[in-house]
Structure 1
Amino acid sequence: MRILGNILWIICGGFISWLSWIITGCLWCITIVGIPVGLQCFKLASISLNPFGKEIESNPGCFSFLLNVIWFFAGGIELAFINFVLGCLLSITIVGIPFGMQFFKIAAISLMPFGATVHRVHFA
């Protein structure tokens, strides 16, 4: 079921979210100072491509807070807005609500991605 959800996710806008994370990561990696930010964008692009079966755990620290403040104004608002709009569009129908909820999850992490780790959920 997770595989089917992820395939439908890519069709229903997951590719757009993934592409926006990849482009943002590439732009951050142009400078040496931005490489840690770009690497975090690439990590979060993985959850944008297949979010079903993954969860986000946040462990913020002092350095993460500083990077999140810079990130909020330098890329977070745009990525959160894209994911929020896609989530709203998909939540209009009953069938699209699970996909919309995943977009809202990604929009929330788009605002403060540092200190967050992505974990695969294993079902027994």
Structure 2
Amino acid sequence: MHVLGNIIWFLFGGFIGGLSWTIAGALWCMTIIGIPVGMQCFKLASLSFWPFGKDIVYDNTSGASLILNILWLIFSGLPLALGHLVSGLLLTITIIGIPFAKQSFKLARLALMPFGARVVNIR
């Protein structure tokens, strides 16, 4: 079911979501200081392209993560989170869309606090 969910997700909105993470990563990588932020964006873009069968674990609560999350939220996090939130709300209109809305809400939370998060495979 993960494969089918990922294919449907990619065709009906996952491509746009992943592309937005990729663009944010490319913009952050334009400066030397922003390269670590951009690399995290590229990792999370792959999650946004194919979210089924993966989960997010928040385990790093260091001061550096907090500072990066605050900078991220100010410069890039809110537009990405709002995009995933609106997508999730639209997907909840139908019963069939609820599993996809759940993935969209997962990505919206991640868009607010991506640093200190790690992607794990669910089996």
Equivalent position of 1:67 in the other structure: 68
What corresponds to 1:119 in structure 2?
Answer: 120
SS in 2 for 1:117: strand
Partner-residue secondary structure (3-state), 1:51: coil
Instruction: Tell me the TM-score normalised to structure 2 length.
Output: 0.97
Distance in 2 separating the partners of 1:61 and 1:120: 24
Structural RMSD (CA): 0.6
Are positions 1:5 and 2:8 aligned together? Answer: no
Query: Which structure 1 residue ranges, 4+ long, deviate > 4 Å from structure 2?
Result: none
Q: Tell me which residue corresponds to 2:52.
A: 52
CA distance in structure 2 between the aligned counterparts of 1:23 and 1:109, rounded to whole angstroms: 16
Mapped to 2, the partners of 1:14 and 1:73 lie a distance apart of 24
Q: How far apart are the structure 2 equivalents of 1:92 and 1:13?
A: 15
Specify the alignment match of 1:90 in structure 2. Answer: 91
Gaps of 5+ in 1: none
Amino acid at match of 1:15: F
The CA distance in 2 between the partners of 1:99 and 1:121, in whole Å, is: 16
Q: Which residue of 2 aligns with 1:99?
A: 100
Percent identity between the aligned chains? 55
